[in-house]
Amino acid sequence: MNHSGREDRQQVNEKKGNLISFLGGKSTLFVLVSILLIGLIIFVFKQIPFVFYPLSVLFSTVVLPVILAMIGYYLLRPVLRLLEKAKIPRMWGILILFLATAGVITLLIFLVVPFLKIQFHNLVDDFPTYFKKLTLTVDHFLRTSIFSSFYESLDINLASLVDNAPSNIGKTIADALGGIAVGVTSFVSALTGFVLAIVTVPFILFYLLKDGEKLPKVFINMLPPRMRDDARDIVKQTDHQISSYIQGQILVAICIGIMVSIGFFIIGMDYALLLGVLAMFTSVVPYLGPLIAITPAVIIAVVTSPFMIVKLAIVWTIVQLIDGKFISPQIMGKSLQIHPITIIFVLLTAGSLFGVAGVILGIPGFAVLKVFVQHFFRLYKLRYNRYMTDSGYQYKDVE
């Protein structure tokens, strides 16, 4: 009887051992338990957020400088490596990069920002005129098109609405936007966060450039020996995904901004520089960015002249063709390997959850998550093939 009981316990222990081995050993179980604990902490945070309020304040204060410093790190790291190949010491290379960056920022502040400020104020002042012209154009189109009967049945007179609209609608909109901004966050906290970011970013960027190559090694050495090879692969792939996306997206955005500004200057579009800068910033959002950038340009073209609409369409088509056929394939390539439909879903989801920050950071965040999922799924397939070959079942990649 005792012998039978020992055999049963041995069989149970063997099954447990096979299950643990199949899952990847104790190291993988440690990772899974850690993930569960992190999920539990997040759940508790949602239930009693006041307990973690100091941590949330610390995170919200630090996250912006860290993100800005990391963007600067990935932009300047290739140049720093070139300087090191030219036999320039690392510290001297960092000093050269800081001085060059400060010089570029100073030139932009004194040469470009004043023109942008003038064009922005002119746009705000001219907005009532644009609004009235656009409304009258739409009213005329609806009354003379195939939709005229439906438009008249609605009993809406856009022309009278324009006459009754306040003459200072541009200032009204600006004041409303300012009121919303003040309502979202106080002036003191916004100013404090901005000053803290400006002061902190150079220090974080300096230490990232100085010791950034060593940080992954320190993290990997903290892990159990069996996990280090996998962690090294994940860190390498993640670093490649982030660096490729940031460097490529910034370069593509600059190229688009320059091309749009030059094209709008050539065709005589009002606020060409301002619209070019808008196109540059919005182009960091894939697919949705160009739609955001083209909207104000279309409004200005519509109220200017029909011929301006044609010229705008030609310039925008040329810019998109050059970007799609030459710039993006050469700079970005297919480093992320994410389907366009997936990108749109990620942008919509991240934007709903985290706002503007989610729209900007959603794609690189998804790329990093994809690296983790693909790596662990590959390990799972290897474990499955190793322990299920005798049964005749085996995972195979589909061509």
Positive or negative CA dihedral for 294, 299, 302, 305?
Answer: negative
With respect to residue 96, please indicate whether it lies within any of the assigned structural domains: no
Q: DSSP H helical segments within the chain, as ranges?
A: 2-23, 26-47, 53-85, 90-107, 113-144, 148-153, 158-164, 169-184, 187-211, 215-221, 225-267, 272-282, 288-304, 306-322, 328-331, 340-388
The verdict on residue 107 lying in a domain is no
Q: What is the pLDDT of residue 219?
A: 81
Read off the amino acid at residue 354: F
50 DSSP 8-state letter: G
**CA–CA dist 337, 236 (Å, integer):** 16
CB atoms within 10 A of CB 82: 11
- Locate 133 and state its tokens: 């012209």
The closest of 197, 317, 188 to 260, measured between CA atoms, is 317
Show the tokens assigned to 39. 């999920």
Distances in Å between the Cα of 60 and the Cα atoms of 10, 71, 128, 188, 356 are 53, 17, 38, 15, 15
Other beta carbons within 10 Å of 188:
8
Could you tell me if residue 81 is inside a domain?
no
| Tens of each residue's pLDDT in the chain, 399 residues | 555 555 555 554 555 455 445 445 555 566 667 677 777 766 666 666 665 566 666 666 677 788 888 889 999 999 999 998 998 998 999 999 999 999 998 998 888 888 888 888 888 887 777 777 777 777 767 677 676 666 666 666 655 655 555 554 555 555 555 554 444 455 555 556 667 777 888 888 998 888 878 888 888 888 778 777 888 888 888 888 888 888 888 888 899 999 999 999 999 988 888 999 999 988 887 777 888 888 888 888 888 888 888 999 999 999 989 887 887 777 665 566 677 777 778 878 877 777 767 777 788 888 888 888 877 777 777 665 555 555 444 445 444
| Number of structural domains the chain divides into | 2
Total count of residues recorded for the chain: 399
Which distant-in-sequence residues (6+ apart) come within 8 Å of 161 by Cβ?
135
Distance CA 139, CA 169 (A): 19
pLDDT at 348: 81
Task: Specify if 116 maps to a domain.
Answer: no
- pLDDT at position 231: 80
Q: Is residue 121 part of a domain?
A: no
> Could you tell me if residue 311 is inside a domain?
yes
Tell me if 42 is assigned to some domain: yes
Predicted TM-score of the model (pTM):
0.70
Q: What are the tokens at 375?
A: 């790596």
Q: Which helix (H) or strand (E) holds 75?
A: helix 53-85
92 is a domain residue: no
The pLDDT score that the predictor gives to residue 396 is 52
Measure the CA–CA gap between 136 and 132, rounded to whole angstroms: 6
Which residue segment(s) compose the domain that 249 sits in?
Answer: 223-288+304-389
Q: Rounded to the nearest 10 degrees, how much is the dihedral formed by the CA atoms of 278, 280, 283, 288?
A: 10
For residue 174, what pLDDT is reported? 53
